[in-house]
Structure 1
Amino acid sequence: MRRRSLTLRAAAATALLALGAGLTAALPQQALADGTGTDYCQGQCHDILPPGENGNATLADILANRALGTRPAHTDDQLAPYAALNGGYPALTDSSLGDFFDDASFGVPQDRIASVDTPRADVTITRDKATGVPHIQGTTRSGTEFGAGYAAAQDRLWLMDLFRHVGRGQLTSFAGGAPANQGLEQEFWRAAPYTEDDLQHQIDRLSTTNGDRGKQALADAQDYVAGINAYIAKAKPGRYFPGEYDLTGHIDPITNAGTIEPFKLTDLIALASVIGALFGSGGGGEVQAALSLQAAQARYGVVEGTKVWESFRERDDPEAVLTVHDGHSFPYAGKPADAQGTAMPDPGSVTEEPLVYDRTGSAASATPARTPVKAPARLKPLQGVFDHGVLPANLFHSPKKGMSNALLVSGKYTASGHPVAVFGPQTGYFAPQLLMLEELQGPGISARGAAFAGLSLYVELGRGQDYSWSATSAGQDVTDTYAVQLCDPSGGTPAEDATSYLWHGSCVPMEKLERTDSWSPTLADSTAKGSYRMQVYRTKYGPVQYRATIGGKPYAYTTLRSSYQHEADSIIGFQMLNDPGFVHDAATFQQAAQHINYTFNWFYADSRQIAYYNSGSNPVRAPGVDPSLPVLAQPAYEWRGFDPDTNTADYTPPQQHPQSVDQDYYISWNNKQAPGYTAAGFGDGSVHRANLLDDRVKRLVRQGGVTRASLTQAMADAAVTDLRGEDVLPELLAVLRGEPITDPQLATTVQQLANWAGDGTKRRETSPGSHTYGDADAVRVMDAWWPLLVKAVFQPGLGDPLYTALTDNLTIDESPSAGHGPTGSHAGSSFQFGWWSYLDKDLRAVLGRPVNGGLARTYCGDGDLTACRSVLLTTLEQAAATPATQLYPGDSGGCAAGDQWCADSIVQRPLGGVTDDRISWQNRPTYQQVVEFPSHR
């Protein structure tokens, strides 16, 4: 009966296509309200956020998209100009920026108004014809925030609902039990296994620990949630709510029976926990670091092995590209002279703590057991929300700690004498986007820009009246791994799976957190039915992630993150950034950023200054603790001032965070912030993706007369450049050309690579729409050669165990077409993680060139240039013989085997029922601003 009912409903839903016009709310037309905040940018602020502002598709819209390819208005109208910059940037001028970016001015001119809505008497939501962005004008602050919530629900209700369920570990019961959904909720609930009390406590603390601003933030959040619920109350009977509710069985498409659960304040914390885990934390890989250190010591002995490991760790590499390059250093999380309390596991004893139990039905496969740990503990590529019939299959790849970039130039070096900035976050490519655009104008609020859907009570990245700000993920180490000794409350010998541990000398029980999820057939999938239980043990040092023995005794490794239980705290900083009465220069901007506890690099520009500040709650560690390795859970090695009941500690003061005002220029692409500031993981060495920006902006500054167009060109040129080609290929060619190449085919291949180098090592179409790369053979050879080359150079010297352990710490490659690595295929962002620095340093050592902070040993040909050349030639021959059909095997998303362009292309991964076209690869932010303020208050 159930399957037959679903079939009938699906048929009825198809019939609703004829009613499409009736399923969309009609909005009253009226004049734009007065009172818009004064705009000092004077038409020189632009931004872009593909695919489009509208993320709400009714059932009729979804079915029409699947059958006819049509889309609701403003669903994808920002995708084409965003994509076009790839081919259009060489001829870019200030006057043509509008061809590739949207006008980010305040307000909407009368002749560009598309609709005006007044959901409450004290707020007006005006949408423009060009993009449909909501411009929210409140006569009261309460009305402004109510309108922000209402507009968010209009544009992203389904996405917001998805992510409040992801944050609670309840996605499968909400959206279906496809393997994709199971993986997504498991990954995030493991990182933040909160109870409802945990979420409520964050709300309660907001107004009690932050003074008047905290009370105001709580009132703003309450009004915001009220606006969301007001939209739900109107949309449900009017049947203009997102059609995904029909397809997943929450609403009956015929009778309209069913519910959309109202939002509550704790939903905002659940949403924030997801965003914080993705973009605003750093560290936590200490167990994997310990395993690779042990492998190095087993290979070379303790002393030499430690030197080898440290050289790969690159904690403070002197050749690393820096954001702060004015000579100031900011020591943090470095290597102690005499490490104390390090908790190294017994070799071979580490196992990952199981998360999922009691699988039934369609969840019954792949029941995890406690298995030896080899892979790195990071948010891995995750499949996404739908993986069944009516809704599209897609992959949700976690943009872990990367992708955003920023370029700012001081007015001393610009044509106008005013600073210029091109910056934005890379939050992945989705349909609809995780971010949404908005303008907020009301008492104490004046801003326009982007915010995460469901958290848009304030603009999080954007512009004020006479200033603009943006961020990149910083990822400094604010997460530590503690080894808690297990115990038996009765005094016996504890088992390896014991659930009690020693806390300051007492044997105390772990807190058991559980989440049971089950799902039933839906319109979208009439077969999936199943359930499972997720289980996490929590200690005063955080959730248990691994178990091991240390000196033969059983221990659990826990993960302690400074922002854990504090996702709501950052709201104060965002409130300040939106307040024109607070931010009026670089100093007040930095003060606002200090209130954000997520690990971000913040950038600022107005008509006079540029500035930078690194935010995050950086814990003060005990003397001698090595942040890169696990530490014993004992009072002597705890964070200073640690209070487990509130998860608070002493934090480094603001002046110790990397920061700067009016440096000649700033660049950031998730690189090292400043000398002495140690990254949480491997990979900050001589070759980093940020070099692509630094080299270009440095050149512009030397020339002077920088404009918005020229700085955008620098970003766009870096966005289509292969990092391996620009920064490592010259050394490869130097080794290869040391002697004549007698094999004619190899000589031709080397010449192709040299020609590609001469062309700038671009991955760019020969002409817009050609879907064919210039230097296509050289690109193919590099893609095939790199993994073969790295393995052949390093594995013989390191040995299999150490080489494997180090590749667990840092993947060897992240080319645009790679289906592996932290972002996976079709994700846009590339070259964040890889062994480019290691090979660069090794080749320079073999060539006899200067290397500052080199590897402890040479590996290519064991340091012999002739032998190294032989390794390069052998692997190059193998790469040249690799057919494109093998290198680019095609996929279920529509790429044919051998299609190089398609393998690189960016896909807007659907998080709902409407799909968008793929675009050419560009390595750039998702949301991006181009700004130059000519005047100031």
Structure 2
Amino acid sequence: MPRRPRTPRLAAAALAAALIAVFAPATAPARAATPTDYCAARCTDILPPGENGNATLAEILLNKAFGSRPAHTDDQLGPYAALAAGYGGLTDGQLRSFFNDASFGVPADQVASTTRPRADVAIVRDKATGVPHITGTTRYGTEFGAGYAAGQDRLWVMDLFRHVGRGELSGFAGGAAANRQLEQSFWQAAPYTEDELQRQIDAIAAQGDRAKQALADAGAYLDGINQYIREAYSGRYFPGEYDLTGHIDAITNAGTIEPFKLTDLVALAAVVGALFGSGGGGELASAQVKLAAEARYGKDAGDAVWASLREADDPEAVQTLHDGQSFPYAQPPADPQGTAMPDPGSVVPEQMVQDATGSAQQTATKAAGVLPGNLLTAKHGMSNALLVSGAHTDDGHPVAVFGPQTGYFAPQLLMLEELQGPGISARGAAFAGLSFYVQLGRGQDYAWSATSAGQDITDTYAVPLCTTDGSPATLTADHYLRGGQCVPLERLERKDAWKPTTADSTAAGSYTLVMYRTDYGLVTARGTVGGKPVAFTSLRSTYRHEADSIIGFQMLNDPGAVHDPASFQQAAQNINYTFNWFYADSAHIAYYNSGSNPVRAPGVDPGLPVRAEAAYLWRDFDPAANTARYTPPAEHPNSVDQDYYVSWNNKQADDYASAGFGNGSVHRADLLDDRVKALLAGGGRVSRVSLTQAMEGAALADLRAEDVLPDLIRVIRSAPVTDPALATAVQKLENWRAAGAQRKETKAGSHTYADADAIRTLDAWWPLLADAVFRPGLGDGLYAALTGALQINESPSGGQTGATGGSASANESIPHKGSAFQYGWWSYLDKDLRGVLGGPVAGPLARPYCGGGDPAACRTALLASLKQALAQTPAQVYPGDADCSAGDQWCADSIIQRPLGGVTDAKSTWQNRPTYQQVVQFPAHR
């Protein structure tokens, strides 16, 4: 039975108004035992905007014309948004007002529908949310049902992302500039031939019984998806986006929806891994900062400045493991070996786009992209977690509030589901198209979640270019030196074309995406080192291995595999993406940092490009398989029953070096850490309610106002502020800080912030402030290089450009995304100002900047930049866009569920909060 009734297809003229591997089932049906739910109604979750992600053409057109939406399209958005206003007076009984009941099963009086796509599986949907609860009497039937439900809820999104993963988005969804930018960035990160996608499957098949079962599960899942496709196509209730993009004719139904196959799942896994499970790779940007610092200050002094700005192992950084545990990894060596510094000004990015014709030669088209073009390339943080051990809770059982921040989309990239069958018992969230296992959620008596860890698993090598005829090589050479031989660069290409749609009314065009590959990674740039031409490559340990994590996720869903902290950590070890994994049951909390961490050659600095020579490669490196020796599990940060854990993409532990720049004394994880410490102070007892309040208090806080503004005020208040306008502004900033430094509405739905003037002042001031403090000392060259390594600001609106002139490298450029304050110069300002004030600073910057270290001169610079900020109009601070009028502060900050299809959702007030989130406390255990 289909999930929803058939709806007629509309005439083509109406379009302008809107935008297998087959596995046999088990011969002897195995009946799954009814699982015991040990959470006893204390497990809740939420995933806006709603579970239903498919809409027919008629439903899309009705949404455009009248704002109506199919059932369960946005019913989780309201409760999610309402927590921002309602968390202060939250009670235990009110949790269900803001979160879903995440108990197993559906009470009989709450069953909305039951679908049986096969005799051995039932898909029951609840009235409240429409979430699929899938119960199979055979393993095959369970996974078949998971695939069928995925088709019902996310078919269009799944189709989008299998094309993103292959560098084919514009050919599938139209030639908008953003679509092209996105497919190019993913093609650069993970270019594969179809044969290489299949090789990942073949490699898994050779890894034992669990791996074979995982592939059988994936095959059954695909069978379910493809049965839904056949039924939806013949019944004419498939997603209307297929009509809108010209894949199916709205009148004749001519066209196809291509069936899914195993290699599609690998392509989807590659997208997820590139977005959320990689780290490192910024070595060229780091080298540019180092070179600019040396040019400004001289070799020794410049290197000291570079090292202090890098903050690879800052002693003031907030850490997930805070009991002094040491896990040395990726530390900058005292005497680097094999470093390959590019000659200044020589680096040029590799040109991926070739043979462009027609509209592909344009820089933009009429249509908007289906996803942000810089979804992969723009820096943005993910996810948070708060866990408190039972020794510090209200009833002696651990409490966890955690979830991933995967962005806000309509429909969401994730979907909710419950899976119950032989060897499978879980409820939670899974990425669309990979939902044969729950990736983040709960089992019978435990829950788990993750945050992006981002440790350095990607290195840059300088590969000498050469010619076969002995002539001097240039940057355009198509050969490179490997073991003393001149061999050709391997060319990987993706021919791409699209045809115009109603929304994308341009002439047809095409281009070819080209990446070159060496034994030392993918070519991302070219330049010279010591005057000799080289290709700079990116070598990622998970490249060619994105599908390997399937075994770890299978274990997390298996109640026989995970039953305590040790077995949870073993499951997490089987996930090669860079994630921080968290676990809670009735008695324990635990943590494990996953990822394929390569063992580097002694003396190699992971933060700089390295010469592509045997002495400096990863130990036991095999270029054919892209494998190496990896650090053993015991050397990954891990812990059981620490008093509490917090994570918001921050540093993991002592000596576990941070990739990139700026992980220092001020980090958004401080917002969580300070609040949990306050809950535990004086022997306090934590509850689900109080930990949720701590999370939401941090979600509404402005990190700059909470942790840097006090330094600014101390400098400014060192003498009387005589200018009346400046004095008023400073007083408003102080009042806002004293009131909690939150970006919060005056009342729910007012669309007006309390402390709106102070918020606008700080938004305008921050980029001007950074410029006034640092540019005089850094100089233009180093200032620009540093913004290339670490953006200055990541405010909720992302619209403040200040003195940077709107540089994409200096300011976050994905608006309305919720996630904020991960990347910015917070630590630099904090450390420098504390130094100017004469206070103690552990791991200080190598030299003073504000006023050259003179407090009076620093104060003058701060007040001058503040005066500049006050001169900006609201329209200048909050430039208008397609969704908001210029000057509308609340709207500029607001979260927009970016449409991946034809249905749109309402804006919601800003929160810096996970997209999918659980609140759990297990009172019992098996």
TM-score, with length taken from structure 2 = 0.95
Q: Is 2:300 aligned against 1:303?
A: yes
Contact kept, 8 Å, 1:278 with 1:401, in 2: the verdict is no
Shift of 1:491: 2.5
What is the aligned counterpart of 1:130 among 122, 128, 131?
128
Distance in 1, matches of 2:371 and 2:189, equals: 25
Distance in 1, matches of 2:620 and 2:812, equals: 34
Distance in 2, matches of 1:258 and 1:744, equals: 69
Q: Any idea what SS the aligned residue of 2:88 has?
A: helix
What is the aligned counterpart of 1:116 among 114, 117, 128?
114
Q: Is 2:801 aligned against 1:804?
A: no
Task: Tell me the equivalent position of 1:890.
Answer: 880
Contact kept, 8 Å, 2:400 with 2:919, in 1: the verdict is yes
Shift of 1:880: 1.5
What is the aligned counterpart of 1:878 among 851, 857, 868?
868
Distance in 2, matches of 1:59 and 1:36, equals: 39
Q: Is 2:904 aligned against 1:924?
A: no
What is the aligned counterpart of 1:278 among 275, 280, 283?
275
Contact kept, 8 Å, 1:394 with 1:910, in 2: the verdict is no
In the TM superposition, what are the counterparts of 1:675-694 in structure 2 within 5 Å? 675-694=654-673
What is the aligned counterpart of 1:247 among 244, 253, 256?
244
Shift of 1:484: 0.7
Contact kept, 8 Å, 2:338 with 2:604, in 1: the verdict is yes
The one-letter code of the counterpart of 1:227 is: G
Contact kept, 8 Å, 2:62 with 2:68, in 1: the verdict is yes
Task: Tell me the equivalent position of 2:227.
Answer: 230
What is the aligned counterpart of 1:595 among 559, 574, 582?
574
In the TM superposition, what are the counterparts of 1:383-462 in structure 2 within 5 Å? 388=367, 397-398=375-376, 400=379, 402-462=381-441
- Per-residue displacement from partner, 1:711-738 (whole Å, max 9, x unpaired)? 0000000000100000011111111111
Task: Tell me the equivalent position of 1:48.
Answer: 46
Contact kept, 8 Å, 1:192 with 1:273, in 2: the verdict is yes
Q: Is 2:712 aligned against 1:738?
A: no
The one-letter code of the counterpart of 1:826 is: H
Task: Tell me the equivalent position of 1:788.
Answer: 768
Distance in 1, matches of 2:826 and 2:584, equals: 32
Shift of 1:527: 3.2
- Per-residue displacement from partner, 1:781-805 (whole Å, max 9, x unpaired)? 1001111111010000111000110
Contact kept, 8 Å, 2:191 with 2:515, in 1: the verdict is yes
Contact kept, 8 Å, 2:294 with 2:301, in 1: the verdict is yes
More off after superposition, 331-340 vs 464-473? 331-340
The one-letter code of the counterpart of 2:13 is: A
Shift of 1:397: 3.5
The one-letter code of the counterpart of 1:11 is: A
What is the aligned counterpart of 2:75 among 61, 74, 77?
77
Shift of 1:495: 2.1
Task: Tell me the equivalent position of 2:802.
Answer: none
Task: Tell me the equivalent position of 1:718.
Answer: 698
In the TM superposition, what are the counterparts of 1:187-586 in structure 2 within 5 Å? 187-208=185-206, 210-366=207-363, 388=367, 397-398=375-376, 400=379, 402-586=381-565
Distance in 1, matches of 2:871 and 2:333, equals: 48
Distance in 1, matches of 2:868 and 2:158, equals: 48
What is the aligned counterpart of 1:815 among 795, 802, 807?
795
The one-letter code of the counterpart of 1:923 is: N
Q: How many residues end up aligned between the 2 structures? A: 895
Task: Tell me the equivalent position of 1:752.
Answer: 732
Distance in 1, matches of 2:17 and 2:549, equals: 47
- Per-residue displacement from partner, 1:730-761 (whole Å, max 9, x unpaired)? 11111111111111221111111111111111
The one-letter code of the counterpart of 2:87 is: Y
Q: Is 2:875 aligned against 1:909?
A: no
The one-letter code of the counterpart of 2:879 is: P
The one-letter code of the counterpart of 2:765 is: W
The one-letter code of the counterpart of 2:868 is: Q
The one-letter code of the counterpart of 2:839 is: R
Distance in 1, matches of 2:566 and 2:415, equals: 28
Distance in 2, matches of 1:245 and 1:517, equals: 19
More off after superposition, 742-751 vs 842-851? 742-751
Q: Is 2:845 aligned against 1:855?
A: yes
What is the aligned counterpart of 2:925 among 907, 926, 936?
936
Contact kept, 8 Å, 1:279 with 1:400, in 2: the verdict is no
Contact kept, 8 Å, 2:398 with 2:587, in 1: the verdict is yes
Q: Any idea what SS the aligned residue of 1:91 has?
A: coil
Shift of 1:488: 1.1
The one-letter code of the counterpart of 2:912 is: N
Task: Tell me the equivalent position of 1:608.
Answer: 587
The one-letter code of the counterpart of 2:776 is: P
Distance in 1, matches of 2:306 and 2:370, equals: 44
What is the aligned counterpart of 1:88 among 65, 86, 89?
86
Distance in 2, matches of 1:178 and 1:462, equals: 36
Shift of 1:890: 1.4
Q: Any idea what SS the aligned residue of 2:539 has?
A: strand
Contact kept, 8 Å, 2:661 with 2:789, in 1: the verdict is yes
Shift of 1:126: 0.5
Shift of 1:207: 1.1
Distance in 1, matches of 2:366 and 2:162, equals: 19
Distance in 1, matches of 2:685 and 2:170, equals: 55
Contact kept, 8 Å, 2:32 with 2:138, in 1: the verdict is no
The one-letter code of the counterpart of 1:236 is: Y
Distance in 2, matches of 1:97 and 1:16, equals: 38
What is the aligned counterpart of 1:864 among 851, 854, 875?
854
Distance in 2, matches of 1:745 and 1:551, equals: 55
- Per-residue displacement from partner, 1:75-127 (whole Å, max 9, x unpaired)? 00000000000000001111110000000000000000000001011111000
In the TM superposition, what are the counterparts of 1:620-631 in structure 2 within 5 Å? 620-631=599-610
Task: Tell me the equivalent position of 2:687.
Answer: 707
Identity %: 70
Shift of 1:522: 2.2
Distance in 1, matches of 2:374 and 2:46, equals: 22
Distance in 2, matches of 1:338 and 1:105, equals: 56
Shift of 1:403: 2.3
More off after superposition, 526-535 vs 661-670? 526-535
TM-score, with length taken from structure 1 = 0.94
The one-letter code of the counterpart of 2:314 is: D
More off after superposition, 218-227 vs 396-405? 396-405
The one-letter code of the counterpart of 1:770 is: S
In the TM superposition, what are the counterparts of 1:142-153 in structure 2 within 5 Å? 142-153=140-151
The one-letter code of the counterpart of 1:154 is: Q
Give RMSD over aligned pairs. 1.7
Shift of 1:393: 8.9
Shift of 1:41: 0.2
Q: Any idea what SS the aligned residue of 1:869 has?
A: helix
In 2 relative to 1, CA 558–922 (structure 1 residues): closer, same or farther, beyond 3 Å? Answer: same
